[in-house]
Chain A
Amino acid sequence: MQLFAALHKDLLLSWRTRAQASAVFAFGAAALLLLSFAAGPDAEALRHNAGGFLWVALLFASVLSLSASFQVEYEQRAMEGLLLLPASPRALYYGKAIANWLQLTVLGAMLVPVMVVLFDAGTWRVFPLLGVIALGAAGISAPGTLYAAMAAQLRAQQVLLPLLLLPLLVPVLLACVKATSLLVMGDPMNQLGSWMLLLVAFNAIFWPLGGLLFGVVAEE
């Protein structure tokens, strides 16, 4: 019950601050555009690296999104007010993490058409691609929510969050890039399943861990 209350709160906050989400999407799209310029005019190379570009852009955009999701919690210390209630910190964590996951999944899905246009990297395997984005977004959201809660209480939060989070997300980045590339370029050796399995395993570790640690991280 408390989980639904927390999720409702976070979705409501996301909706009321949707201008911020638009800015995050614009940032992601701009990053993709810049990467296309940096990679040069070789169409085959662009198509080959499209998955990598998509996930690097999404990763950087997600740092902004995660940071913003806790900015609203700490501007008037609303999160402290919630932690002082007889409410479970786990419910607060999962509410926030699920809301972040939904936001990042939508963001990733919106960046796919930009990738297709810029890199000519289309695929008909839309649902598997959405599955990769959903699993990748979950892999970013679980530790990202935890680290964002930690970094939000520190002065150098803008620097610390990517510094703490990005190294941890290397397995997610690797699996997502490979899986997306296989969907775009073709998968003759049927490797997609193993990369998806890696994403599932990462999520299976970090979702429970985040719930366990959030109470300790968020207080004081």
Chain B
Amino acid sequence: MLLPSTKPSDGTNSDAPGRVRELGPALEVRGLCRRYGRSWALAQVDLRLERGEVLLLAGSNGSGKSTMLRVLSGALRPDAGTIKVEGFEGRDEQRLRTALVGHYFNTYEALSALQNVQIFSRLLGRPSDRAALMPLLETVGLAHRADDAVHTFSAGMHKRLALSRLLLQQPAVALLDEPYGQLDPEGFALLDSLIDQMRQRGTAVIVASHLLEHGAALCDRALLLSKGRVQWTGPAAELPAVSKAASASRLAAARGT
């Protein structure tokens, strides 16, 4: 299965993603902090991600995974720290070069799947006719429901539609927050294949997931967050054991043993 190519139809934003600082990493984060009220959701997070690298972002509920992805995408402002995507800094650059599939599907429920994709395609200045976008919907397995209103879709189909938007954006850094949630086994395989294709194209991918064994097999590197801080980072294959040990020590501390 190949990712469809959707090249810009006019000048809008077409040159900007092509600007790449050759030697820089895909993503470089230094001292990233974000707080909600008095509590720090992210505290002094550093991260460097090379092109084509797939990172597994792990951590318990409330550890800061979703906040981190939302800050990296430009949806939230950081309170401190710098984010460079392909060497470029600034919120506009983040929006240009990253794409997020988060907990919300960002879809228009009253419109069809094709119309949803067309809206995003038009705003990106890409071809938005049916012929240009059907291969994209085919890639995510929604071609047969292209003309159906999205409110009739299951959660898994919503997720597939959100993935099609990410593919349309062709980002330098793809941010996937719990991407396997709501997907059926076929959807799991599809997503694995898409991540693999993105890796081959040089797209850096961050996958926030609780499926550690699965993620360990898929990803190159892992980062474990705890209370907004980087607790551990290393090869993804080692994460399940590290996480198990961390959970055991947390339980022991909670029991006072």
A-side residues, CB < 8 A to B, are 1-2, 5-6, 8-9, 12-13, 16-17, 72, 75-78, 80-87, 91, 219-220
Q: Determine whether the beta carbon of A84 is less than 8 Å from that of B123.
A: no
**How far, in Å, is B15 (CB) from chain A's closest CB?**
12
Per-position binary interface string of chain B over residues 144-171, scored 1 when its CB falls under 8 Å from any chain A CB and 0 otherwise:
0000010000000010000001000100
| B123–A12 CB distance below 8 A | no
CB distance from A65 to the nearest CB of B (A): 15
Determine how close the nearest CB of chain B comes to the CB of A21; give it in whole angstroms: 13
A17 to B109, CA, bound (A): 10
Interface residues on B, range: 20 to 34
Q: Contacts A5-B123, A16-B110, A219-B75 given; 5 further ones with Cβ under 8 A? A: A76-B158, A77-B105, A78-B107, A84-B75, A220-B75
Chain B residues with CB below 8 A from A1, complex form: 10, 12, 125
CA distance A8 to B111 in the complex (A): 13
In the bound complex, CA of A6 to CA of B109 (Å): 17
Residues of A within 8 A of B73 (CB): 84
Distance to closest chain B CB from A83 (angstroms): 8
In the assembled complex, 25 residue pairs joining A and B whose CB atoms fall closer than 8 Å, in A order, are: A1-B125, A5-B123, A9-B122, A9-B123, A12-B111, A72-B108, A72-B110, A75-B109, A76-B104, A76-B105, A76-B108, A78-B106, A78-B107, A81-B106, A81-B120, A82-B106, A82-B120, A83-B75, A84-B73, A84-B74, A85-B169, A86-B16, A86-B92, A86-B95, A91-B123
- Select from chain A the residue with minimum beta-carbon distance to B12: A1
In the assembled complex, how far is the CB of residue B151 from the closest CB belonging to chain A, in whole angstroms? 9
